[in-house]
Amino acid sequence: MYIQRFMDGLLAKAMKTSNSVLVTGPRQVGKSTMISHVLPKLRYVTLDDPFVEEQAKNDSRTFMQLNPPPVAIDEVQHAPVLFRFIKIEADKNRRAKGLYCLSGSQPFQLMQGVSESLSGRVRILEMNGLSLREITGDSFSERVLPTDEYVFSRSKTAKDPGPIWQIIHRGGYPELQDSGVDWNSYYADYVKTYIERDVRSLKAVHDLAAFRQFMVAAASRTAQVLNYSNIADEIGKDVGTVKSWVSILETSGIIYLLQPYAASELKRAIRAPKLHFRDMGLVAYLTRWLSAESLACGAMAGAVFESFVVSEILKSFSNAGLEYRDFVSYYRGRDKIAVQCDGQRVETESEIDLVIEENGVLYPIEIKKSSSPKANDAAAFVALDKIKGKKRGQGAIVCNCAAPMHLRDNLLSMPVWYL
């Protein structure tokens, strides 16, 4: 049964307003299924078929003649020569809409072809795994923002989905929503396919076994500030190789590098990005947490919960048609701050897990897997008050609490299922 996606409406609108549309994203997030569902009458060609791929590569002119627009071409990165012909057709029919719907799951090759031939001529839609809203069938489509107005709107449709760690551990790939699909076998095949089909095609990767070891090392560091040297020491590779491999994970949609908030007033802020995996089922598989119960109680629970929340917030922006990279960052200071805890003064990290910036207002978010957050968990939010020309808006602690509530003025606790 087709799972309704927020991207459905974005694709339908893009095909009516743009000459060409490109749907990109990791393997198996549902790109081809969505295109067939939203555009059922469109001619569909996939270059996953080796015979079709060979014709597209070696006799591109004939391929284009046999597949005139409007047409959907899947896995188009297998024949980058087609971008030149698509550019010619797009330039001849500048006023036409919906000529080409392109898709592909190898963005590091795909985007190179687009930037070289189709820059400014194609609308790009970035698709990710299922969001919590899509998994639970919730139609709420606003991007996450920790304000009273958002919480009021969200409360109209938000429903507690039950054991959240079951959803986190299962992961967000559409096929896994079928309970009959074996979790371990699915991810084993996914990693094998990703490494052998996508990574093998890159000249930058010669040692596939080492790359798999690298993926495990990276997964164990989700929600941590990225330290290339640390990973290099663990897998026995040089820092340059690790940087190259991190770039592959990022551009293929496996991870997201959350950039630090940049402001001259934050002189003691850490400048390295924070590494977040996009799918927690993949993290659990790579780090061998084989059940939801073991993951929820294990050493990585806090980090996995943080990455899950960050991923959900990013999806809320993408699914609303917004470029999340323009809105989100994090903050971490080098100096610790003192807070009162159970009547005692203790030192803690000066860190804000996520900062959303809109219209000159900074909305800080702390992420805790606890069900009973405390106002002191948000002590670092005051660091944003130093920034000239910006206003600190309402903040939130996203956690496993039962319902939203005010912890103090300008600070909410928000259940994870309100995302």
Comparing C-alpha atoms, which of 88, 147, 87 is closest to residue 115?
A: 87
pLDDT at 267 over 60: yes
Distance CA(30)–CA(7), nearest Å, equals 10
- Taking only the tens place, the pLDDT of each residue in 93-143 is 878 899 999 998 765 555 665 655 666 678 889 999 999 999 999 999 999
Comparing C-alpha atoms, which of 77, 67, 172, 64 is closest to residue 128?
A: 172
pLDDT given at position 14: 95
- Taking only the tens place, the pLDDT of each residue in 207-266 is 889 999 999 999 999 999 999 999 999 999 999 999 999 998 998 899 999 999 988 777
- Taking only the tens place, the pLDDT of each residue in 375-407 is 989 989 988 998 999 999 999 999 999 999 999
pLDDT given at position 109: 56
- Taking only the tens place, the pLDDT of each residue in 33-71 is 999 999 999 999 999 899 999 999 999 999 999 999 999
- Taking only the tens place, the pLDDT of each residue in 288-330 is 999 999 999 999 999 999 999 999 999 999 999 999 999 999 9
Q: What is the DSSP secondary-structure string of 313-371? A: HHHHHHTTT--GGGTEEEEEBSS-EEEEETTEEEEE--EEEEEEEETTEEEEEEE---S
- Taking only the tens place, the pLDDT of each residue in 131-189 is 999 999 999 999 999 999 999 999 999 999 999 999 999 999 999 999 999 999 999 99
Report how far Cα 400 is from the mean position of its chain's Cα atoms: 21
**Pairing assessment for the beta strands 20-24 and 122-126 based on DSSP bridges:** parallel
**pTM for this one?**
0.93
* Average pLDDT over all residues of the chain: 91
The domains found in the chain, sorted by start residue, are 7-126 (3.40.50.300), 132-418 (no CATH)
pLDDT given at position 95: 83
The alpha carbon torsion through 87, 89, 95, 100 (nearest 10 deg) reads -80
pLDDT given at position 403: 95
Beta bridge partners of 396: 365, 412
